[in-house]
Structure 1
Amino acid sequence: MMPDHMDANPQQCLTLTQGPHRLRVGPAAGGRILDWISELPGGPRDWLVPIQAQAWPAHEWPKGGLFPLSPFSNRIRNARLHWADREIRIQPLHGQAHALHGQAQRMAWDVLDATASQATLSTRLLAGEDGWPWAWSLQQTIRLSADGQLDIELALRNDDTQPMPAGLGLHPYFTASSVHTLAGKDWAHDQELALFPRPNRQTRWQRSDHTWTTFLSGWPGQADIIWSDGPGLTLQARGPLDHLVLHCNAGRYLCVEPATHVCDAVNLAAAGIPGTGLQTLAPGETLTVGMTLSIRP
């Protein structure tokens, strides 16, 4: 069983520092980046909503930081996978009907290597934990450069003897005011569960006082993250991160989440909906993705 509590105690965190740029990682807190700060000419900038909590129940994650999504992104309807002509029940998010964001966000991670500018962590799920039938392992490498560039790479390996439905993504909570990108498709959704793709014409999304979610696909793997004043960020995805989730919660943050598949992809694919991005990993196969965030004047 996974631990009921995640640890974000500063004494248990890794700190990466390069010049005026600093970030903290909580290995025992789901391998999450807890904060990322740059000292800019106009003053300090929290690029991410910082996490102040030192410990919390796993099902009450504070909304902030940046964490990996594995082995799936976003929701699985009613926590049931329709896969290979069978229905598989997995653990839903506490207090809700659906599974959300995968198990990696609630797992303790081992530190394989750490320097002043880079950390490599790993975690492993045994077959059957949280109802997920397949064993897998995940490695995460976080790099911070002298110019403030943040790079994250994820590698998910199927450690099971059977093929596994798989997905990866990254979930940052930005303090930004808007995001600009191009995308060919916008997915209709009902209560944040994707239904089907349709043409998209919008290119800019604004953080606002109301809560909204957008599922995009067919984007070029690049987005501009914009603040109301001062520098912004350029997000560059690599690997099959062909989908993008945008989310704003009552104006508190702006999430820009590259992912390999759309929300509830495994069930949509089983229903014959095309373009879900669902991956299938053969035994021993690895899925690798990455994201770079670069400071833009």
Structure 2
Amino acid sequence: MLLRAGRLAVDLAPHAGGSIARFSVDGVDVLRPMAAADIDAGRGNEAAAYPLVPFSNRIANGRLDFEGEVFRLARNWPGVCHPMHGDGWSHAWTVAHADGQVAEIVYEHERAGAQGGWPFRYRARQRYCLEADRLVVAMAFENLEDRPVPAGLGLHPFFVREADTELFCRCQAVWRTDAEVLPVERIPVPAAWDFGTSRRVNEVALDNCFDGWDGKAVVVWPRRRLRLDLEASEPFRHLVIYVPPAQAYFCVEPVSHASGDVGTLPLGPGAVRTGEIVFRLSDL
């Protein structure tokens, strides 16, 4: 499903986890493009960007503690022993509206407790609006249960990474992680991980959740003379930064909660949690 506006183009893959398959300016990719084989196979986790619903990152050993109850979740990610990134990315979404510059897609989740899936019913929506200089992604989570449920939201974009790509963002703290990328300690952001002054992404290797984020980040590609301003509304005040070694991408993920902490985000019966993320592009 292709959206176009001015110099920008976004190709959506609703059947592949409600994901973005490609996002480009003047035909040049801003996010890593999704391979045709992955689009055909519906592999949302190989997308240019995919939704994080109803939680971000890992839930340790699949144990979800919520309001005095314990729920067991099954593994859902190849090679990872903890359930990760929710279930929106692994299911087909339905197209509710599309008109060339705007698209809205929906995923409705049924209880899957016996199989170790997410044990609460919910409806998730994503609305993509492409304008001449920006992509606006509006996300919503609706509780379909008659009781409170944990309700997280987030977006997982994979930015194209070049030797001179720079990142700027301000955060107050970061979670150190163990060998299984589970959070172990919240600490002030160390100088080596501080992007409060724009710096090259290739200077670090990270897979950590930052908090106290002000909702703004800037990615710059100097060689391309291109700048991307990312702005996120509430509840996105955590930021996962993932910079894997020897890859042609990095991730800056606006999320609503610290890794493994979705149980602290209750949403009442019939209530809706919403948030908006804007990607604005400009020339240097």
How many residue pairs align between the two structures? 267
Which residue number in structure 1 is paired with residue 57 of structure 2?
A: 74
1:88-137 per-residue CA deviation (whole Å, 9 max, x = no partner) reads: 11121244210111000111111111011010010110012652211000
Distance 1:165 1:116 in 2: 34
1:208-246 per-residue CA deviation (whole Å, 9 max, x = no partner) reads: 397521311001100011213211100000121010000
Structure 2: unaligned runs, 5 residues or longer:
none
Identity %: 30
Q: After superposition, where does 1:194-273 map in structure 2 within 5 Å?
A: 194-200=183-189, 201=191, 202-203=194-195, 204=198, 206-208=200-202, 211-229=205-223, 230-250=225-245, 251-266=247-262
Which residue number in structure 2 is paired with residue 294 of structure 1?
A: 280
Query: Which residue among 254, 279, 288 is the counterpart of 2:265?
Result: 279
Which residue number in structure 1 is paired with residue 81 of structure 2?
A: 97
Which residue identity does 1:246 align to in structure 2? Answer: I
Alignment check: 8 A CA contact 1:71 1:103 kept: yes
After superposing on structure 2, the runs of 4+ consecutive aligned residues of structure 1 that deviate more than 6 Å are: none
Structure 1: unaligned runs, 5 residues or longer:
1-13, 270-277
Distance 2:255 2:226 in 1: 25
Q: TM-score, normalised by structure 2?
A: 0.88
SS of 2:89's equivalent? helix
Distance 1:281 1:122 in 2: 19
Which residue identity does 1:194 align to in structure 2? Answer: P
Q: After superposition, where does 1:1-297 map in structure 2 within 5 Å?
A: 14-39=1-26, 44-52=27-35, 53=37, 54-56=39-41, 58=43, 61-62=45-46, 64-92=47-75, 93-128=77-112, 130-147=116-133, 149-176=134-161, 177-191=165-179, 192-200=181-189, 201=191, 202-203=194-195, 204=198, 206-208=200-202, 211-229=205-223, 230-250=225-245, 251-266=247-262, 278-297=264-283
Which residue identity does 1:24 align to in structure 2? Answer: D
Alignment check: 8 A CA contact 1:187 1:194 kept: yes
Distance 1:258 1:135 in 2: 24
SS of 1:55's equivalent? helix
SS of 2:140's equivalent? strand
Q: TM-score, normalised by structure 1?
A: 0.84
Which residue number in structure 2 is paired with residue 5 of structure 1?
A: none
Which residue identity does 1:77 align to in structure 2? Answer: A
Alignment check: 8 A CA contact 1:127 1:160 kept: no
